[in-house]
Chain A
Amino acid sequence: MKFSTVKKYRRRHKLLGALLIRNPVLVLGLDLPFVIAAATSLKNAAAMAIQIFIIHTGTMLVGRVTCTKLHRWQAIVANVAAATFMMMVAQVLVVALFRGISNSLGMYLYLMAVNAMTVFQSSALPKNAKIWPVFTGALSNALGFALVVGVVALIREYFAFGSLWGISLPVLIKLPALAIPFAGFMLMGFLLAFTRFLNKRLLALSLLETARKEARYTKIHVDSVETIDL
């Protein structure tokens, strides 16, 4: 398959790319612990989403500064320090917003400061990185994380406790085990597989429409594109 079409497709669906194709959790496999162990209810998910927005964007901006001034290993320390500061700021906000979140999230509330996505993306910035792409990239990464956490938390809270955002709903069968990390592992496995499947389908569809647009593709090509495999 032609890579230019893939790039075209990704350029066209920028948001989709941020959420699915370059999703930090589903594709890059970053920040798995929080999704697997901590995302057991929608409130936790919301808290972690707010935290990641503040921590990640703030630290990325700090890292944009530190990567020019300091060595790599000093920059990491500085970024983690900044992330910790952001974490404390975010913690004030989150604890004010959600009652009893520090009990339900436990140590994951604090461990957000050293989540792999923030630490390594902020310290791996190139020296000549523009400020605006860094900011938007950080936002889209945080958005992707928030999406995954939200989906996982939705599934787990509904099927494990039969409630959504604390409001109990009628549920066919309760599976309390879903709130335990091992179920989180399996759930993430299936979610990753589903995402890959979805990416494949989306890319195939977009290739199909580009193929239909371009006149030099014959009918055979279109058919072959329909059954594309990545």
Chain B
Amino acid sequence: MLLENLYLFFTSAMVALAMENAIFARSLGLSRSVLFMKTPGAGILCGGILTWIATASSVLVAGVNYLVEGAPYASFIRMPGYLLCVCLVYAATYLYTKKKRPALFRVIRPYLPISTFNTALFGAFYISSLKSFGFFQTVGYALGTGVGYTIAIYVIYYARKRLAISPVPRSFRGLPVLLVYIGFLSLAIYGLIGHGLPS
């Protein structure tokens, strides 16, 4: 029983990390502030906060999915429910760090909103509800999404360093060529998934 749940947990986590990577497979949570992180440390921090919030709120989200399942107007109730869970975790994190860990608070404060109200997060919850995941799968999927998001930010940072030393045409410098680069990575991952459009 426990082993089975652990298996579900890890499989869904790996799927969310590699095959259905939030950024590369579904382009979720993609914005300029994420693409143009100053340092890899900032990227890892941003992804880490997202991982924490996703994992913590997914525990509540699993409950929301369980309650909402089969209720009338489910699609209406879902989003507010998710928003409630995420806002609870967000406020808890904010206040706790502000009171107890001021140093940590000063570090994470600029990245907290970006990582919290992020399409990657809510997208992970929606996918877990569309696939009617159980508790362990939901938590695992959220965790995998967060880790995959962090890895993606890291990869994109080094892609920028690589592209900085090639004579990219002036119109393509910065965001456009980076998008083409991500496009090819996403193409490679799509070859692994095979035919199956992201919902």
B67 within 8 A of A: no
A168-195 CB contact bits vs B (8 Å, 1 = yes)? 0000000000011111111011101110
B28 within 8 A of A: yes
Give the residue name and chain of the A residue nearest to B73 (CB): A88
B179 to chain A, nearest CB (A): 4
| Inter-subunit contact A37/B113 (CB<8 Å) | no
A41 within 8 A of B: no
When distances are taken between beta carbons in the complex, the residues of chain A under 8 Å from B28 are: 33, 37, 111
When distances are taken between beta carbons in the complex, the residues of chain B under 8 Å from A120 are: 113-114
User: Would you call the interface of chain B mostly helix, strand, loop, or mixed?
Assistant: helix
Known: A37-B26, A73-B94, A77-B90. A116 touches B31 (CB 8 A): yes
When distances are taken between beta carbons in the complex, the residues of chain A under 8 Å from B169 are: 193
B42 within 8 A of A: no
Interface residues of A in 36-94 (CB under 8 A from B): 36-37, 73, 76-77, 80-81, 84, 87-88, 91
| Inter-subunit contact A180/B197 (CB<8 Å) | yes
| Inter-subunit contact A88/B27 (CB<8 Å) | no
B183 within 8 A of A: yes
B135 within 8 A of A: no
Band of interface residues on B: 35 or more
Band of interface residues on A: 35 or more
- The stretch among A9-17, A102-110, A202-210, A214-222 that forms the contact with chain B is A102-110
B52 within 8 A of A: no
A197 within 8 A of B: yes
- The stretch among A24-32, A136-144, A150-158 that forms the contact with chain B is A24-32
Known contacts A29-B31, A81-B87, then 7 further A-B pairs from the complex at CB < 8 Å, ordered by chain A residue? A88-B80, A116-B119, A181-B198, A182-B183, A184-B183, A185-B186, A192-B176
A-B contact pairs, 9 of them (CB 8 A): A28-B32, A29-B32, A29-B175, A73-B94, A81-B87, A107-B122, A107-B126, A110-B75, A192-B179
